Homo-oligomer: A and B are copies of this chain.
Amino acid sequence: MTIGFIGLGIMGRPMAKNLIKAGYKLAVYDKYAKFDDIVALGAATASSNKEVAAQNEVIITMLPNSPHVKEAILGSDGVIEGISAGKIVVDMSSIAPAASREVGEALKARGAAFLDAPVSGGEPKAIDGTLAIMVGGDQKSFDTLKPVLEKMGSSVTLVGDIGSGNVTKLANQIVVALNIAAVSEAFVLAAKAGVDPVKVFDAIKGGLAGSTVMNAKVPMILDGNFKPGFRTELHVKDLQNALDTAHALNVPVPLTAAVMETLQALTVDGLAASDHSAIVRYYEKLAKIEVRR
């Protein structure tokens, strides 16, 4: 199986490296980023997205958002111009489910299969090959690609038809954003009430209030350390896709909309590149107190 890998940014780069390390014959391409280091590891390359598709059986894309995926696959000199029947395109970007379905239908018209397979876990887990990968698409293509995806992730789950991977990712991002907002409101209130936040953390983390977000983010908040991790601006993108999807389906998500406004306020305050745990900064600013050790 020959694999073409398009998109060599913070996430795509270590994911491609893990495929090379696993012995896959890889061709890499990025219209905008440099990728000499990946070629130096033994990867082939190509001169366009179209050529990547023409020269490989499987084409993986890892790009920032829906417009970039649509440009790389459906645009001029795009994947769709080089594709042919029997090939499989796997988009591992986190994009709007509606965009996944649009791309999937266009590829199906050329006889190619499509999987949307967004990931969760960020750069550290991309490097370690331990991402959680949520896949939408047909069972046959999933079975074919599963061994490849398992080189990049420790959890690879087929969740439904095309678009379902990104729906699942949006559900994930809603929960994460709201769980960060939850600990933010709780800890800012406790701090303003004069209770040591370290003791609050110790007292409640083992009970029903416990969460992976609490364990991962409260220590960062207590240290005033907002180094990403996962950047606020990426969470803005994901929640915009969640709100667009919810509105298209007439699903009211009032708390998601509210936390999106919180993220927008952080952007105004120059925190777009900070970790999303900076949500607490919004509340700290309002209450004029910091939740610190």
Contact = CB atoms under 8 A, between A and B. Distances in A.
A199 B134 CA distance: 10
Interface in A123-172: 132, 134, 155, 157-161, 163-164, 167-168, 170-172
| A interface, over-half SS | helix
A181 B200 CA distance: 22
A171 B157 contact: no
Contacts of A212: 207-211
Interface string A178-220: 1101110111111011111001101110111111111010000
Interface stretch (A13-21, A37-45, A72-80, A250-258): A250-258
Q: Which of A208, A259, A287 has the most CB of B within 10 A?
A: A208
Interface residues of A, number: 69
A129 to B, nearest CB: 15
A97 interface: yes
Interface stretch (A3-11, A47-55, A58-66, A241-249): A241-249
Q: Which of A174, A175, A186, A253 has the most CB of B within 10 A?
A: A175
A175 B258 contact: no
Given A190-B167, A210-B212, A255-B185, A175 B204 contact: yes
5 contacts: A132-B204, A159-B200, A167-B194, A175-B182, A207-B212
Interface of A: 97, 120-121, 132, 134, 155, 157-161, 163-164, 167-168, 170-176, 178-179, 181-183, 185-190, 192-196, 199-200, 202-204, 206-214, 216, 242, 245-246, 249-256, 258-259, 283, 286-287
> Which 6 pairs from chain A and chain B are nearest by CB?
A211-B211, A178-B182, A171-B186, A175-B209, A159-B199, A174-B186
